[in-house]
């Protein structure tokens, strides 16, 4: 017993107290850190900061990208400051960014629709452009860098058409060649050379068309999206018709070609 009392008496109590106090301070600091609580002053400053940035978003003067604006709004929501003014600004900013996103989508859709129309026009080559002119127009569409499967497919098709035109040489655009062939058959028939006209008909079919039964459509009226056609015919019957009537009354409006560059469908329009 006496030994135990002597041991207790030998402990340096002043050191022990210091160690305990240091430990308590350390524990106290650590517990403060884990709660993450801000002082009122800090909270007020953050609310003001968010308000300022949100006001800029609402006013449309924010220099942040739309994605960053959306991120900032999410941050403000997650902080849950419970400030009525800030909450009202959050709602306004959300509406603003939502409208901005909708505008972007609309604009993208318009760009895609415009590119689609241009590419279909280039495919049909209604303006009778040369391969070089078509390439220039196609490059303009390519420069838009549209990410859309249908547009990619159309770009490929137009490029193939241009490449074929470049390979086919200098006989002029197909539209002109066809119209010349039609005029030639009409003039030959008018001169009374029916046998020659028949030879020209066969030559035109074998040179330009997939077969003598390739469909031919004649547009008699175009009004907006409504197109009226004459009764569909075939290229053989149409060329014979030119011979019989001794006149070529229609121009080439558009055509579809197969992989070999032969016309598989022809659209004509009244002169």
Partner 1 sequence: MKKGIVLIIGFIIASGGLFAQKNDDNISPQRKQAIDSLALEKVRDLSKYISIIGDKKTQWSEAQRVISRAEELFMPGSEIGVSSLSRPEVTYYKVREYFDRLMQLNYDKVVIDWYKIQYVSDLERQPDGTYVGVITIFQRFQGYDQEKGLVYEDTTKKDITVYVKRKETQIGGRLIGFWDVLLGDIRVKETSK
* Residue of 212, 227, 251, 261 interacting with partner 1 (CB under 8 A): 227
Q: With binding defined as CB under 8 A, does residue 4 bind partner 1?
A: no
Instruction: Return the residues of window 166-205 that contact partner 1 according to CB under 8 A.
Output: 194
Under a CB-based contact definition with an 8 Å cutoff, are residues 54 and 20 in contact? no
Query: Interacting stretch for partner 1, rule CB under 8 A, among 85-93, 131-139, 159-167, 213-221?
Result: 213-221
C-alpha span between 146 and 136 (Å, rounded):
17
Q: With binding defined as CB under 8 A, does residue 153 bind partner 1?
A: no
DSSP-derived secondary structure for 168-224: T-SS--HHHHHHHHHHHHHHHHHTT-HHHHHHHHHHHHHHHBS-TT-EEEEEEEEET
Q: Closest approach of Cβ 86 to partner 1, in Å?
A: 55
Phi, psi of 146 (to 5 degrees): -75, 135
Q: With binding defined as CB under 8 A, does residue 223 bind partner 1?
A: yes
Q: What separation in angstroms does the CA of 115 have from each of 15, 105, 159?
A: 84, 15, 14
* Residue of 48, 103, 127, 244 interacting with partner 1 (CB under 8 A): 244
Q: Which CB, 77 or 227, lies closer to partner 1?
A: 227
Q: Sign of dihedral through CA atoms 163, 169, 172, 176? A: negative
Q: Closest approach of Cβ 114 to partner 1, in Å?
A: 22
Q: With binding defined as CB under 8 A, does residue 256 bind partner 1?
A: yes
C-alpha span between 114 and 141 (Å, rounded):
9
Structure-token match 């994605």, residue found: 67
Query: Interacting stretch for partner 1, rule CB under 8 A, among 138-146, 157-165, 178-186, 243-251?
Result: 243-251
Instruction: Give me the residues that bind partner 1 (CB under 8 A), please.
Output: 194, 215, 217, 220-221, 223, 226-232, 237, 240-241, 244-246, 256, 264-265
């Amino acid at each position: 017993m006496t030994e135990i009392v002597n041991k207790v008496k030998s402990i340096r109590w002043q050191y022990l107290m210091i160690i305990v106090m240091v430990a308590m301070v350390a524990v106290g600091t650590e517990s403060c850190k884990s709660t993450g609580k801000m002082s009122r002053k800090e909270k007020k400053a953050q609310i003001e900061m968010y308000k300022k940035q949100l006001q800029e978003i609402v006013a449309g003067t924010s220099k942040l990208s739309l994605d960053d604006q959306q991120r900032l709004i999410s941050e403000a929501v997650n902080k849950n400051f419970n400030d009525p003014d800030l909450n009202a600004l959050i709602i306004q900013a959300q509406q603003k960014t939502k409208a901005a996103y909708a505008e972007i989508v609309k604009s993208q859709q318009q760009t895609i629709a415009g590119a689609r129309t241009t590419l279909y026009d280039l495919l049909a080559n209604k303006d009778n452009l040369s391969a070089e002119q078509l390439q220039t127009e196609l490059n303009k569409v390519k420069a838009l860098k549209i990410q859309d499967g249908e547009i990619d497919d159309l770009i490929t098709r137009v490029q193939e058409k241009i490449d074929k035109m470049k390979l086919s040489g200098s006989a002029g655009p197909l539209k002109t060649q066809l119209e010349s062939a039609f005029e030639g058959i009409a003039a030959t028939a008018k001169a009374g050379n029916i046998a020659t006209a028949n030879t020209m008909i066969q030559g035109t079919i074998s040179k330009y068309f997939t077969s003598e039964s390739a469909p031919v459509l004649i547009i008699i009226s175009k009004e907006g999206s409504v197109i009226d056609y004459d009764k569909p015919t075939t290229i053989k019957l149409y060329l014979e018709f030119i011979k019989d009537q001794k006149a070529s009354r229609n121009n080439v409006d558009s055509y579809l070609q197969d992989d070999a560059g032969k016309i598989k469908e022809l659209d004509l329009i009244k002169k």
